């Protein structure tokens, strides 16, 4: 078995993902993600060999967490100024259950001998990837949606996913799912 490009994420209910796809402004230089691509990344793990993945699955399946509600509101870009690369949906400020789950996933990856991305974590849901578009071009859309709020979304599981990069965007496959206790 070959190495897989892996990450751990929270998926949104299908109705929420579909509602987010319908927000696509159709701007040139903004490639909106499909409903199947919309998620919140808890940890990006990169290329993982089959043996490491097996060990990781064991550590992830041992994680215990309770379901919780996550607020979905506010749009923004990374970087915030100049030429944005990412258009995102916010998930509130400092949600304790989300950060606890993130820490547990990172700890599981480290115990499996992996090297997850350990940079400061800024939880968000990527909506679109931007290319050669200015912040000024996106400003009217962001201003129009500054009060964008989808309310509270239940989080009842997280998934280990593989990512296959294609010209049309990434294709994700669930490799394992861990359900809240």
Cα separations in angstroms, 164 against 6, 7, 56, 78, 169 = 9, 11, 19, 23, 9
End-to-end CA distance of the chain: 32
Q: Which two tokens stand for residue 24?
A: 């696509």
Q: Which of 66, 97, 122, 124 is catalytic?
A: 124
Q: Which residue has the tokens 């929270």?
A: 10
> Is residue 57 within a helix (H) or strand (E), and if so which, with residue range?
helix 50-61
Q: What DSSP character marks residue 117?
A: -
Tell me, yes or no, if 122 is annotated catalytic: no
Q: What DSSP character marks residue 91?
A: B
Tell me, yes or no, if 39 is annotated catalytic: yes
Sorted by sequence, the CB contacts under 8 Å of residue 64 that are 6+ apart come out as 181
Residue 53 in contact with residue 175, Cβ under 8 Å?
yes
Residue 105 in contact with residue 63, Cβ under 8 Å?
yes
Which residues belong to the active site? Answer: 39, 124
């Amino acid at each position: 078995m070959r190495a897989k490009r892996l990450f751990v994420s929270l998926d949104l209910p299908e109705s929420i993902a579909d509602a987010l796809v319908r927000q696509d402004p159709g701007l040139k230089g903004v490639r909106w993600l499909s409903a199947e691509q919309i998620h919140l990344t808890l940890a990006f793990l990169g290329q993982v060999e089959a043996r490491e993945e097996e060990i990781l699955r064991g550590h992830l399946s041992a994680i215990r967490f309770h379901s919780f509600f996550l607020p979905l509101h506010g749009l923004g870009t990374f970087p915030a100024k100049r030429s944005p690369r990412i258009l995102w949906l916010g998930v509130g400020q400092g949600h304790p259950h989300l950060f606890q789950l993130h820490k547990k996933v990172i700890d599981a990856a480290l115990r499996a001998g992996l090297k997850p991305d350990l940079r400061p974590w800024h939880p968000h849901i990527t909506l679109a990837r931007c290319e050669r578009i200015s912040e000024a071009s996106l400003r009217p859309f962001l201003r129009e949606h500054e009060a964008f709020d989808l309310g509270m979304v239940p989080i009842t599981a997280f998934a280990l996913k593989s990512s296959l990069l294609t010209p049309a965007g990434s294709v994700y496959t669930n490799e394992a799912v861990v359900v809240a206790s």
